[in-house]
Amino acid sequence: MINKRGIWFLTLFSLILVLSVYYITMPPELLLINSNKDYSNNKDDDTGEVVVVEESEILTALRIEADEQYQQQINDLKMILTNIDASVDEKNNAFEKLKLINLTRGEEEKLEKQIEGEFNLKSFVKIDGNQVRVVVASDKHDSALANNIMRAIQKNYNNKMYISVKFQK
């Protein structure tokens, strides 16, 4: 007799198998056509040159570090949730912390998109309680720009947030 866990495993395994066979049998020309469409949107209308915006290595390193930290916290909380010996209060606290981590990650992404939209700058945002740390990929260290970024972020919150802006390249 097959239990529910076995059925789920077989279902997900067959889905992965079908998608991998589809990907392998897909013609390579289709992949090349889609990648060329992405770069056609980056052309500058005045000069005809291709503008490629690359993310700073520092921003990438900060994102990887934050993702690893979040992943470790999530794994620890999931261990508490799946532990048979854990009490109901411990499981509830772990679930609440898990929800808080997901909300915080969403806020960080929202603020990064806001900074990119308003100021046309790539950034990394880290929220820890009432502290917001912003790292902006820019050679130009402008205190007026930093002040404007701080004000734009503070508009999203009712409480006083301690916001720091750092420029890196």
Q: Can you list the domains of the chain with their CATH numbers? A: 1-52 (no CATH), 55-169 (1.10.287.4300)
Express each pLDDT in 99-157 by its tens digit: 999 999 999 999 999 999 999 999 999 999 899 999 998 888 889 999 999 999 999 99
Q: Which residues have C-beta within 8 Å of that of residue 47, sequence separation ≥ 6? A: none
Confidence check: pLDDT of 29 > 90: no
Alpha helix (H) ranges present in 83-122?
A: 88-119
How many helices (H) and strands (E) the chain has is answered by: 5, 3
Q: Are 68 and 87 in contact (CB under 8 A)?
A: no
Full-model pTM: 0.63
Q: What is the mean pLDDT of the chain?
A: 83
Cα dihedral 30, 34, 35, 40 sign: positive
> What share of the chain has pLDDT > 70, as a percent?
82
Q: How many residues does the chain have?
A: 169
Supply angle C-alpha 67, 134, 109, rounded to 5. Answer: 50
Confidence check: pLDDT of 24 > 60: yes
User: What pLDDT is recorded for position 40?
Assistant: 45
For the CA atoms of 108, 110, 116, 117, the dihedral, rounded to the nearest 10 degrees, stands at -160
